[in-house]
Each structure stands twice: as structure tokens, then as C-alpha cells.
Amino acid sequence: MADLKLTGVEKAYGEVKVLKNIDLDIKTGELIVFVGPSGCGKSTLLRMIAGLERITGGNFTIDGVRMNEVPPAQRGIAMVFQSYALYPHMTVRQNMEFALKIAKKPQAEIDAAVDNAARILQLTPYLDRLPKALSGGQRQRVAIGRAIVRDPKVYLFDEPLSNLDAALRVATRIEIAQLKEAMPGSTMIYVTHDQVEAMTLASRIVVLAGGGIAQVGTPLELYERPENEFVAQFIGSPAMNLLPGKIVATGAETRVKLDGGGEAIAAIPTGDADLGLAVNLGVRPEDMVPSDTPALYTGEVEITEALGEVTLLYFKRAGEAAPVVAKLPGIHQGLRHSAVHLTADPAKLHLFHNGRSLLYR
């Protein structure tokens, strides 16, 4: 069992607070993924949990026991880094058993732990090889194996796949998902820049921004019900379009007149007090649907990108801060410079006022 709890955790470097008011409850068996823009503090938070960075404020417990002052080796945590940091002159087996030898465990126990980890990670055929005779993905599996043999309560992964090429990333990602299934009693925290890794691996995603937590939720909660514009635009690719407008009719559904022309109905309840409220209507590129008549958005296609299974249409009208993007299934050719009307299902629309979703008032 390993329940982690962070309460009011902060990190200051001198006067500068890079993390503040971090409250987070992580339950045994969860795989939590930290995402966020570069420099938001993902690695710092992970390293504080590992004990590699001092926690400058707040409380961090594992199973109710305060960890702030506990040395890294006594926290029951193993960390897997982006650079595998294997010993080049040692075989896979020697690399994996090293920590247990140092801890003077009996050889029979060491052999059993290494054989078990090798089996889980499908490394058994490679136990006598040197790291240089392995692929990048296999090396990262050895690094994970070194963590597994120590039987930690908590695994921390700091961008473990970022040194691998695209195909190996996919294969190793699936292996990590299987590893998680094989070890339901362990708790994992994973830092990544890769949205697909976050969406596919996480039980819950923590979005960090501006030194704090922007939202915590399951991948689908963050995708379908983002609490704020930051999360709405951070999760999903291309990012959600935000179209400014005003509420012109309220009720179980809300009608919005858009500043750039066009109207939309969102399946989000509002009350009389909201009439005239300035909002941003959020619509994901994949939720935009071509229409025969003017509806939510009409624009001239500036650029198209054909990706095979989908085509991206980019629109830019005078006064718009960012291009509006529509993602249409299939191949669409010859649309460049033509005017296209777009609509969307009311249930797929989002409304934000002052950056906050109206769903969460």
C-alpha cells in the first residue's frame, strides 16, 4: 500500500516560489501523470517526492507518515530517469542486481527478484548482455528493472521515453501500461511532455501551470470538462478554439452571439443574471462540422494540412488572435481560399467567463 498526500506543499529557491499550495491525494494503485508547460515545476515536484529536492513548505506523507525530512533511500521510492544511467561495463543482470548487492541481500533472494523483474519486462533472453548490445527501449526496460527489483511502494518516472524514437516510444508506452497492470499494488507518478502518453497511461492527470495545479482529473474529465481555458487549450491537439461572444438567451441551453458573426447554442445551463455576459465559446477542432448555411463560424480557409485520416483547416479572419482550426475526418482537397461554414453539436461546446468554465460555478 502507498497512499501519498501533499498538503500545501511549496518550493522556493531563495525568494522565488516555483511551486505553491500543492494539495494532492494519490491512492495506492494509481498512475498519476504530471503535465504542464516547460518550467512549470513538474520535475521539481517529482524530485521533492523522491527526496532529491528539499520541500520548503507544507507536508508530504506516505501512508500517513511525514516524509519531508526522510532521506530518499528510506522513502520506499524508486525513480526511473530519462537517461537510463546503466553501468556500461556490467551485464543486464549485474545492473539489475547492483542495489540489492550493495544492500547485502542473500543471493537467492537477489536471483529471484532479478528473474521476476526480467520476466515482467521480457528481458530474460538479455540478462547476460552488456547495455551497448541493447536497443534504447531495452535499455530503458533494464532501468525500470533496476527499480522493480527493489520492490518499492512508489515508482517515479521522469520522462522515461523521451530519448526513444517514435516507434519505440509507442512499444515501450504499451509495456509500461502492462507493467502497471502487473503491479496493481504499486503507485506510480509519471512526468511527460507527451499528450498521448498522458492520456493513455494516466489514471488521473495533474495539470501544473503558474506554480500551482490548474486541474486534476481523469484524462476524459480533462478533455470533456476542463475547468478553465488553460486546461481546455493544453489538453487536446490542435488546441481548443476560443471564440469571444455574449450570452443572448439563457435557460437549460445557452445561446451565444459571437463577436465575429455567427451564433451557437451550448448545452450548458445559465440563468437570467448571465444575460449579456461576455464569454469565450470553446470548440474543439474535431467537434467542428461543415454546414450548408452560416452557423457558428464562417471563414476563408487559409491553409489545409492533409494528415491522411484527417484534414486540418486553418482559418484566420481580421481581428482574430489565433487561427481557428477545424479537424475534419478524411481527405478534403481544393478547399484553400474557399469560404466554409462550420457548426457544432451543442453538447460538445464549452463556455468560459474570465477564463473559468461556467460548468464549475
Ligand X SMILES: Nc1ncnc2c1ncn2[C@@H]1O[C@H](COP(=O)(O)OP(=O)(O)OP(=O)(O)O)[C@@H](O)[C@H]1O
User: In terms of C-beta density within 10 A (0-12 exposed, 13-18 middle, 19 or more buried), how is residue 244 classed?
Assistant: middle
Which residue stretch of 31-39, 97-105, 148-156, 249-257 sits at the interface with ligand X (rule: CB under 6 A)?
31-39
Joined grid coordinates for residue 280: 469565450
Give 43 or 56: the residue with its C-beta nearer to ligand X: 43
DSSP label at 354? T
Give 18 or 52: the residue with its C-beta nearer to ligand X: 18
Give 17 or 255: the residue with its C-beta nearer to ligand X: 17
Which residue stretch of 35-43, 114-122, 212-220, 288-296 sits at the interface with ligand X (rule: CB under 6 A)?
35-43
Give 193 or 225: the residue with its C-beta nearer to ligand X: 193
Determine, following the binding rule CB under 6 A, whether residue 160 of this chain makes contact with ligand X.
no
Provide, rounded to whole angstroms, the least separation between the CB of residue 82 and ligand X. 9
* Cα dist from 272 to 22, 180, 288, 333, whole Å: 36, 49, 28, 45
Which 175-234 positions form the footprint of ligand X (CB under 6 A)? none
Determine, following the binding rule CB under 6 A, whether residue 43 of this chain makes contact with ligand X.
yes
Give 48 or 288: the residue with its C-beta nearer to ligand X: 48
Q: According to CB under 6 A, which one of 28, 44, 195, 233 is a site residue for ligand X? A: 44
Give 127 or 207: the residue with its C-beta nearer to ligand X: 207
Gyration radius of the chain over CA positions: 24
Which residue stretch of 42-50, 216-224, 234-242, 330-338 sits at the interface with ligand X (rule: CB under 6 A)?
42-50
d(CA 354, CA 229): 9
Determine, following the binding rule CB under 6 A, whether residue 13 of this chain makes contact with ligand X.
yes
Give 42 or 153: the residue with its C-beta nearer to ligand X: 42
Q: According to CB under 6 A, which one of 8, 23, 39, 124 is a site residue for ligand X? A: 39
Provide, rounded to whole angstroms, the least separation between the CB of residue 148 and ligand X. 24
Which 301-360 positions form the footprint of ligand X (CB under 6 A)? none
Determine, following the binding rule CB under 6 A, whether residue 251 of this chain makes contact with ligand X.
no
How many residues sit in the footprint of ligand X (CB under 6 A)?
10
Handedness of CA 280, 282, 285, 289 (dihedral sign): negative
Determine, following the binding rule CB under 6 A, whether residue 68 of this chain makes contact with ligand X.
no
Q: According to CB under 6 A, which one of 15, 38, 88, 319 is a site residue for ligand X? A: 38
Q: DSSP labels for 185-210?
A: T-EEEEE-S-HHHHHHH-SEEEEEET
Closest to 8 measured CA to CA, from 155, 17, 16: 17
Determine, following the binding rule CB under 6 A, whether residue 269 of this chain makes contact with ligand X.
no
d(CA 62, CA 78): 14
The helix or strand, by DSSP H or E, that contains position 179, with its residue range, turns out to be helix 166-182
**Binding marks (x or -) toward ligand X, 111..150, rule CB under 6 A?**
----------------------------------------
Contact 306, 333 (CB under 8 A): yes
Give 36 or 145: the residue with its C-beta nearer to ligand X: 36
Provide, rounded to whole angstroms, the least separation between the CB of residue 122 and ligand X. 30
> How many helices, marked H, and strands, marked E, lie in the chain?
8, 21
Joined grid coordinates for residue 137: 527501449
Provide, rounded to whole angstroms, the least separation between the CB of residue 38 and ligand X. 3
Determine, following the binding rule CB under 6 A, whether residue 42 of this chain makes contact with ligand X.
yes
Contact 75, 48 (CB under 8 A): no
Q: DSSP labels for 105-170?
A: --HHHHHHHHHHHHHHTT-GGGTTS-GGGS-HHHHHHHHHHHHHHT--SEEEEESTTTTS-HHHHH
* Amino acid present at 67: M
Determine, following the binding rule CB under 6 A, whether residue 41 of this chain makes contact with ligand X.
yes
Handedness of CA 195, 331, 165, 120 (dihedral sign): positive
Q: According to CB under 6 A, which one of 3, 17, 18, 194 is a site residue for ligand X? A: 18
Binding site for ligand X (CB under 6 A): 13, 18, 36, 38-44
